[in-house]
Structure 1
C-alpha cells in the first residue's frame, strides 16, 4: 500500500515554494507520491491569470526529474459546477483503491471547511484524511476544537498537522505582481518556468 498526497492549488504559476512544500510534506509524512492537481479555470470562485494550457505546461516542467511527483489534470477537465474536493477525492480513492490517500492543504482552508464553506464539508471530513500545513496566525488545534464538523471526526487519524517550517510568505500572487510591475522573481521558481513565462510574455 502506497501513501499518496493530493496537492491541489491554482499553480498560477507554480513556484519553488510549492515544490519545497511538497517535498517537505512527502518527507515528514512518509508519502510515496505527491500528485499536483491544478484547479479548473471553470470554477466560479477562481480568477486565474493564464490559460489552463500554460499552467499545465509549467507544472510538468517544474516536476520533471522527480519520479515521485506526478501531475494530474482531473479537475481541469471537469465542468465548473461539478467540481468539489469531496468528488475529487472519491475519484482518486477509486483510482488508487489499494493505496492511502491524503489531501494536502493549508490551515486557512481547514478553517473554511470547519465553518461549512465547502461543498459537503461534513462528508468530506468524515470520509477522508488530511495533511494540514501551518499558516501564520492560525492555531490548528484550536480550529479543530471549535468546529463541530472537525472535532467530531478527529479520531487521531483524520488530521496530520505540520506546524513547523512551512508558513512561507512567497506566493504565486507575489510572483505575478513582480512580473506585472517589472520586478525580478527569477529565483522564486524553476528556471524552466521562468523562461517559459518570459517566452510567452505571461503575467504582464
Structure 2
C-alpha cells in the first residue's frame, strides 16, 4: 500500500515554495507520491489568471526531475458541477483503491470546512484523511475543537497536523505582479517555468 498526497492549487504559476512544501510534506509524512492537482478554470470558487494549458505545462516542467511527484489533470477535464473536493477525492480513492490517500491543505481551509463553507463538508471530513499545514494566527487544535463537523468526525486518524517548518511565503500573486511590472522574480520559481512564462509573455497585458 502506497501513501499518496493530493496537492491541489491554482499553481498560477507553480513556485519553488510549492515544490519545497510538497517535498517537505512527503518527507515528514512518509508519503510515497505527491499528486499535483491544478484547479480548473471552471471552478466557481477560484478565479484563474492563466489558461489551464499554461498552468498544466508549467507543472509538468517543474516536477519532471522528481520521481515522487505526479501531475494529474483530473479537475481540468471535469464539468463545472463536479468540481468539488469531495468528488475529487472520491475519484482518487477509486483510482488508487489499494493506497492511502491524504488531501493536503492549509489551516485556513480547515477552518472554512469546519464552518460548512465547502460542498458536503460533513461527508468530506467523515470519509477522508487530511494533512493540514499551519497558517499564522490559526490554532489548528482549537479550530477542530470548536467545529462540530471537524471534532465529531475526528477518529484520531483524520488529521495530520504540521505545525512548524512550513511557513515560507512566496505567493503566486507576488510573482504575477512582478512579471506584470517588468520585475525579475527569476529565482522564486523553477528556471524552466521562468523561461516558459517569458516565452509566452504570461502575466502581462499581452499574454496568449
Please give the range of the TM-score, normalised by the shorter of the 2 chains. Answer: over 0.9
Cα displacement string for residues 95-129 of structure 1 (whole angstroms, at most 9, x for unaligned residues): 00000000000001001000000000000000000
Q: What is the TM-score with the length of structure 2 in the denominator?
A: 0.97
Match of 1:89 in 2: 89
Match of 2:135 in 1: 135
Cα displacement string for residues 127-166 of structure 1 (whole angstroms, at most 9, x for unaligned residues): 0000000111111011001000001112110000000011
Match of 1:17 in 2: 17
Q: C-alpha separation between the residues in 1 aligned to 2:184 and 2:65?
A: 25
Instruction: Report deviation, 1:66.
Output: 0.7
Q: C-alpha separation between the residues in 1 aligned to 2:83 and 2:50?
A: 20
Match of 1:64 in 2: 64
Q: C-alpha separation between the residues in 1 aligned to 2:63 and 2:56?
A: 11
SS of the residue 1:124 aligns to: helix
CA-atom RMSD in angstroms = 0.6
Q: How is 1:24-63 mapped onto 2 (pairs within 5 angstroms)?
A: 24-63=24-63
Residue 107 of structure 1 pairs with residue 137 of structure 2? no
Match of 2:119 in 1: 119
SS of the residue 2:167 aligns to: coil
Q: What is the TM-score with the length of structure 1 in the denominator?
A: 0.99
Match of 2:174 in 1: 174
Instruction: Report deviation, 1:49.
Output: 1.1
* Over 3 Å off, 4+ runs: none
Instruction: Report deviation, 1:189.
Output: 0.3
